[in-house]
Amino acid sequence: MEERTKTAEKHVTISAGKVKLRAILGLPPPEKGAPKGVVVFAHGSGSGRLSPRNIFVARELQAGHIATLLADLLEESESNDRRKVFNIDLLADRLLSCSNWLGGREETKGLKRAYFGASTGAGAALQAAAKEPGGISSIVSRGGRPDLALDYLPQVQAPTLLIVGGEDQSVIPLNETAFQQLHCTKELVIVPGASHLFEEPGTLEKVSELARAWFLRFFSDLNT
């Protein structure tokens, strides 16, 4: 079942093995032509498709004519199980299911795909990308824990942008360590004055601006 909202968003259900994942597929205005690509969001621990911060970023991407998929990587009954909330292997496999689902959708088949990961979701995004070499156009991490996919980082081929808040002192060194393990096109940006959740005025807008430019750069790269 699907429900189209006034903001060109569809509420959909994605099968991932025996589970059903709830998601929101966001589509740019059709009068501007086909989307440049589609970004799948991998949320952080305890978060999901209704994350206000990721919804904000998704709509900023849609304004740049990029389709988005905000998906719960866990069913509601699993969301309080910490063994699953922090199971990067499981989350990465669920993310791959969402990515593959897009390939069968009329609105998104043939589009280049990318990942946007927040917190633990960044680890899942990088691990999923490593398992799908050549299948992902690019990756952006916001306040992420790329170190959670440390063993997979050398295998990541997709250009990767790590964005960290300047006040997120415990996460900065984790990103710096992960950055050294990445052998793909990469960039690490520290946003001054931003905390882990980028709640300070203008900081989430900066994340959105950086992410949109990164995705568009590699959606349009004929060599990606």
Continuous segment of H or E residues that includes residue 218? helix 203-219
How would you write the pLDDT of the chain (224 residues) with one tens digit per residue?
A: 344 344 588 999 999 988 999 999 999 887 777 899 999 999 877 677 888 889 999 999 999 999 999 999 988 878 777 788 789 999 999 999 999 999 999 889 999 999 999 999 999 999 999 999 889 999 999 999 999 999 999 999 999 999 999 999 999 999 999 999 999 999 999 999 999 989 999 999 999 999 999 999 999 874 44
The closest of 99, 98, 87, 100 to 149, measured between CA atoms, is 87
What is the token pair recorded at 93? Answer: 């496999």
State the Cα–Cα distance between residues 85 and 108, nearest whole angstrom. Answer: 28
Strand positions, DSSP E, 18-143: 19-26, 38-42, 67-71, 113-118, 139-142
User: Which domains, and CATH codes, for the chain?
Assistant: 3-219 (3.40.50.1820)
